[in-house]
Structures are given as structure tokens and as C-alpha cells.
Structure 1
């Protein structure tokens, strides 16, 4: 017998469904932004990862993106040709390479996300500081659960 009450189960399921809808909508938004920038979805995803977490080695970027290293080479070649990233020597190991986002084109990306960012500011204005902290914590934990689940699948473990 389950110890979870039916109302709690319904609410939990509604949250999961909302997160799936959110995931889809953000994928559509990212696709539209990438299309405007003439970037493939995977290229835009990698650019976002480098922008947020870089500089990164190509292998670290491949792991974060869940891509095979050979696929990453093509992605980085396209991003470099487009003027989005640069490959530099790693200062701590001159034999290694790190990838960094070029700031010159960041304004193009920010402009395309301005509608979403403005709507998010309006939404957040309706919550007090404690509520925003709770939401931020919840979303960080959801993102971590997704990362762990993706890692498990990549390693062949059941999720």
C-alpha cells in the first residue's frame, strides 16, 4: 500500500508533466534561436555549454553534451568557422586544447532570448524572495536529477 496520498500523487504527476512540457517548449525556443543564428540544434547546445561552463576541453564538452568525441570535432569545426568559438592551447598543458566562446557574437544570442528573458522577469516579479529561492533550488535539483539520469543511461545503467 502506497503512503502517498492521492492529492499529493496528482500534484507530483502534474509537476512532472509540466516539466516535460517545459522541456519541449525550451527545445522549440532553442531550435528557433539556433535557426535564426544558422546553427544546428546540437551546435547551439554545445555553444551554450561552452558559454556557460567554458573554457572546456573538447572531451569535457563531449561528455557534458552527451556526444561522441568524433561528432564533437565536426560541431567545433562548424562553430569555429561561424566565428562562435576559438580553440586555444590549454595554459596548464600546452599539448591540450580548450574551447572558449567568442564574446563578439554573444549580443546576437541575447537579443534573440530577450522576449523570453523579459517574460521570465515578469513571472518572477510575482513571487517573493523566499518563493524564488525555493523555485531556484527545485529547478537546480531537477537539473541535477536529469544530469545523473543521462549519465546513467550513457553508462548503460538503468535510470
Structure 2
């Protein structure tokens, strides 16, 4: 029984190590994809990250965006200036507080990004098509919890 338990423990460690290695490889591949997409539309990686945050959670105030992106507010100003010059975002007055500014992504310009990510999105659709609903729920839960663990680890390290 002891050898079966130790064999199970080794297998679990190998599987866990494989998951961590796969996540590291995924991180690299997504970074490369984002870098190539950014090069096609003349955006820096950090610009794409901020544009994604604005698109998913916006409209956002610059301070909220800085906090979500983990960047200094002065850095966000430069990023927003580039995004606005490129026609990716607009800055608008917050209707709830006319002194505040909200940043909103421009949908017509972001169509260009959707086109560049179409290959990855199609590959993901095909990949997900190979799993049943229960398996997809487990994968979605794992990835959501992994992202939360990443946020917690980032918060623990604090900001620079």
C-alpha cells in the first residue's frame, strides 16, 4: 500500500509540475502573440494590455486603469496619449462627475485587433469543442482560480 501511495504522490507531483510548465509555456506564447499583434498595429505590449483592460472593464478612469494594470498613474498618461493618438480610445467626461475623465475603447478601431487575434480565437473554439460541458467548467474554474492566484501573488509583492 505504501508504494501505491508514494506512486500516486509522484504522479500527482509530475502532473502538477506539467501544469505549471504548460502555464509558463502558454505565458510565453501569448506574450509572443501579443507582441506580434502589437507590431502590426504599432502598439507596445503594455498599450495592448491597457487597451484590453479598457475594452473588458471600461469605460475606466485613468486611476482605476493604472491600478488594474499595476502601473504608475504617470505611465498611464503616456499610454493613454499613445492610444488616443492612434485612434484606439477616447477620453470623455464622466457623466456622474464632470470633473472626472473616463477612457473608452473605440469599437470600430478594435475590429482590427479582433481580426489579428482571429486565428487564436478560432483555435481556442476548436480546442474547446473537444471538451464536454463538465470538462469546460473545470477548465474555466481552474483558469479563473489561476488568474486569482496570480493577482494575489502580484499584490503580495507590492508595487514599485
Does TM, normalized by the shorter one, top 0.5? yes
Residue correspondence of structure 1 range 111-126 to structure 2 within 5 A:
111-126=115-130
**Aligned position for 1:64:** 68
How far off is 1:155 after superposition? Answer: 4.7
Q: TM-score, normalised by structure 2?
A: 0.92
How far off is 1:154 after superposition? Answer: 2.1
C-alpha change, 1:155 and 1:83, in structure 2 (3 Å) is closer
Q: Does 1:49 align with 2:63?
A: no
**Aligned position for 1:136:** 140
- Partner secondary structure for residue 5 of structure 1: helix
CA-to-aligned-CA distance 1:65-124 (integer Å, 9 cap, x gap): 111111110000000010000111111111111111011112101100110011111111
- Partner secondary structure for residue 145 of structure 1: helix
RMSD: 1.4
**Aligned position for 1:106:** 110
Q: Provide runs of 4+ in structure 1 moved above 6 Å.
A: none
Contact 1:86–1:99 under 8 Å retained in 2: yes
**Aligned position for 2:16:** 12
Q: Does 1:21 align with 2:25?
A: yes
Contact 1:89–1:97 under 8 Å retained in 2: yes
Contact 1:66–1:154 under 8 Å retained in 2: no
Larger-gyration structure (1/2)? 2
Number of equivalences: 154
